[in-house]
Amino acid sequence: MNFDFLTPIKDTIIAHLVLQSAQSLGRNIQVHSIQNGFPELEKVQIAIFGVQEDRNAVDNINCGENIEEIRKHLYQLFLGNWHTKIADLGNIIKGNSIEDTYFAVNSLTSYLIKNKIIPIIIGGSQDITYANYRAYDSLEQTVNLVSVDSKFDIETIEEGLNSRSYLNKIILDKPNNLFNFSNIGYQTFYNSQEELDLLNSLFFDTYRLGEVKDVTVVEPIMRDADIVSIDIGSIKQSDAPANNNASPNGFYGEEICAISRYAGISDKVSSFGIYEYNSKFDNNHQTAHLIAQMVWYFIEGVNFRAKDYPFCTKKSYQKFIVLVENDNPINFYKSDKSGRWWMEINISTNNKYKRHALIPCTYQDYLEAIEQKIPERWYKALRKLM
């Protein structure tokens, strides 16, 4: 593949990198630089790249600039007990048209995923998520998208695709490969009741900010995701000021890092993006620090994947059968390896949605099923599968 649309990392960052400890992350990854050229991707498992695109940003113009500030803080963090090979591919600059930028993101992401390399995308406006989603067309499979955002980004698209309407575009455009969408951390006063009703009618999952302040609730949601898209505006302004749409309410820094780690731990997540960073609002580079730590925690999670989803042999799982309404059974599986739980929907073997028939859940879901309270996520999945 031709990677000419990727620009190398600035010499100032490379010079700063040389001063870091030999145990730092920056000294132990392959970096696209003028001196060394483009990294060799053989055996690379995680690839970072920036996208300097803001033309479809709503009220957040200039997001995507100064991504190097994030790299500067990321490179100086120390490695964990990791085994993955990491490369930083540089930046996709603005194309002659925004469609050119989308094409570059789509092509690069598709190439990486096909080669079993997890892309970490640092944007840029969140409409880049649409280009990320379209990269899965070549895989010919349905996908699950999780967005961490205070807004649904499902506004009408009369004026075209932008950072507030990209989800609408994903839902309506052909080919429609979206099986499930989950929003984590929405704030009710930023979203109309009509939007919430629409997502509910499509059997999508929405979680108010207050519902996920116990971030352990997020783990099974992330476990079923293929794409994770995080809007920096979902974080409290006091913790991440680098966004013109920042709000006084949102996730704390440590909570968004935990969420990023859950995304990394998920065996299914194959692309991860952080968007809407606007450096001109970043007091003392605070948000750049936080995004660097979010990336670090995602990589940490990838290194601790249990690789027990989907299961390849039921011998590694304990099976629990719960009889519910009309004596219909729900099969629950508990992994001997990780202690995590799944529940199963029985569908025909030729159903194109078969990969979605095993639904991540919690031990609490199992207890509720015993009490004849069928988990809502099981109902929603059943409606979409049948």
- Burial string for 19-43 (b: 16+ CB within 10 Å, else e) reads ebeeebbbbebbbbbeeeeebebee
Tokens 């073997």 identify what position?
349
User: Which tokens sit at 159?
Assistant: 């004026």
Domains of the chain (ranges, CATH numbers):
6-303 (3.40.800.10), 314-385 (no CATH)
pTM (2 d.p.)? 0.95
Q: pLDDT tens, position by position, for the chain (386 residues)?
A: 888 999 999 999 999 988 899 999 999 999 999 999 999 999 999 999 999 999 999 999 999 999 999 999 999 999 999 999 999 999 999 999 999 999 999 999 999 999 999 999 999 999 999 999 999 998 888 999 999 999 999 987 676 899 999 999 999 999 999 999 999 999 999 999 999 999 999 999 999 999 999 999 999 999 999 999 999 999 999 999 999 999 999 999 999 999 999 999 999 999 999 999 999 999 999 999 999 999 999 999 999 999 886 555 667 889 999 988 766 789 999 998 889 999 998 776 556 677 778 899 999 999 999 998 988 888 888 888 77
- Burial string for 253-275 (b: 16+ CB within 10 Å, else e) reads bebbbbbbbbbbbbebbbbbbbb
Residue 307 region by backbone torsions, left for phi larger than 0, else alpha for psi between -120 and 50, else beta: left
Which of 341, 347, 371, 373 has the alpha carbon at shortest distance from 359?
Answer: 341
